[in-house]
Amino acid sequence: MKNINIVQISAAVGFLCAAAYGCTKGDDEDVNPTPRTDLEGVMVTVPAGRFARGSAAGLDIERPIDNIWITKSFLLSAAEVTNREFSEFLNGNGVGADGKMATARNGSQALVGNSATEREGKYPWGVEYVGNRWQPVAGYEYYPAIYVTWFGADEYCRWKGGRLPTEAEWEWAAGYSGLKKAGQPAVDSTYKYTGFNEWGSLKTYAWYYDNSGGRSRPVGTRQPNPLGLYDMLGNVEEWCADWFGANYYQTSSDNATKYAQDSAHAASGEAYAAARDTAPDFIDPVGPDSATVVYDKTNSIPNRIYTSGEYYPYSRGARKVLRGGSYVKVQTSGTEGTHRVSFRGHMQPQLHWNSYGFRMAKDL
């Protein structure tokens, strides 16, 4: 496994170039970028630190803002796991045409869908089962693996001796700026996006609806963030380890007052720097326990326990977190857009889609 400390030289050069000059016309959707074969297996060191999680101007599920301490440095894949890497895992574990495997933790689970047949083969950019083996669709070896369930992502990471990042680790790594906050040296400044604060620069760092041409792209072909992490926004949404709770931020501590304050700031358009500075602290959060994830969208039946087959609301143990947006997502959601480091996606762990992928974390 290759490892780089904080910033790869090439990533740093790319980041500084993008910051100084922006994106050239040659980077638009009508150009097929050259696959980055050099990024497979590269892990970036994400330093320990303290940051403000969430957004007062985002959606309700992103509030209130809390100061989060990530107490230990960890490794994170520089790029999303590719079709070539995921095929090796499937074949190494004898996964058959149905994409299922008997897992040690979760029983028999579907890990992946066949790109040649899923959704009538309209999105053939992943892996397919040919001649009793899984392989990348020809020409898409270094594209991000798609049609991956949460179970598939989790099992791959365990097979490689790693794990999925927690939601907090993902947000910290995606928004990392390397800059200390003025007047409060214990808190690091994080970007709203991944390497920048103005959404007009998004196409420099992310493949999304406006520049992707409606399909995934080779990993690592946009600019990286200051840590040397590619595609933290856009290309494919990334599974995280945590169960999703719509009101998790509000109930993970006595945050009712803080939530009301942040909501008022968002409604009035006021700056919320003070809210970030005075937020309560949480250490290495890992999300809600599956047994406590109960959210009633209509609030018509308080405390009801919903079955796993119901789409809404989010029943206990029903959904896992997805982060980062994807190539099919437009930059619209609420007032802030989906391609932000604080935006929270979610889906049932047994489901896969043509925009679901992942990257791996490792403990140091």
Most confident of 26-35, 128-137, 275-284, 329-338: 128-137
pTM: 0.79
Reported as a pLDDT band with limits 50, 70 and 90, residue 290 is low
Most confident of 7-11, 29-33, 82-86: 82-86
Mean pLDDT for the stretch of residues 117-138? 95
Q: Pairing mode, if any, of strands 42-46 and 2-4? A: parallel
Q: What pLDDT, on the 0 to 100 scale, is given for residue 249?
A: 80
Q: What pLDDT, on the 0 to 100 scale, is given for residue 334?
A: 42
pLDDT in tens, 92-115: 999 999 999 999 988 999 999 999
* E-strand stretches of 82-236: 100-103, 107-110, 127-130, 133-136, 176-181, 184-190
Can you read off the two tokens belonging to residue 229?
């992490």
Sign, CA torsion 146/207/10/199: negative
Q: What pLDDT, on the 0 to 100 scale, is given for residue 240?
A: 97
pLDDT value at 335 more than 90: no
More reliable by pLDDT, 300 or 76: 76
pLDDT value at 184 more than 90: no
Q: What pLDDT, on the 0 to 100 scale, is given for residue 23?
A: 33
Q: What pLDDT, on the 0 to 100 scale, is given for residue 219?
A: 97
8 A C-beta contact, residue 164 and residue 360: yes
pLDDT value at 53 more than 70: yes
Residues in the chain: 364
Structural domains in the chain?
A: 2-80+163-363 (3.90.1580), 83-143 (no CATH)
Can you read off the two tokens belonging to residue 147?
């049609």
Q: What pLDDT, on the 0 to 100 scale, is given for residue 26?
A: 34
CA distances from 35 to 82, 142, 143, 264 (A): 11, 6, 8, 46
Mean pLDDT of the chain: 77
Mean pLDDT for the stretch of residues 263-284? 56
Reported as a pLDDT band with limits 50, 70 and 90, residue 66 is confident
Mean pLDDT for the stretch of residues 333-348? 76
* E-strand stretches of the chain: 2-4, 42-46, 49-53, 66-70, 74-77, 100-103, 107-110, 127-130, 133-136, 176-181, 184-190, 237-243, 281-283, 320-323, 344-347, 356-357, 361-363
Can you read off the two tokens belonging to residue 320?
């896992």
Mean pLDDT for the stretch of residues 21-33? 45
Under 8 Å CB-to-CB from 22, ≥6 apart: which residues?
201, 204
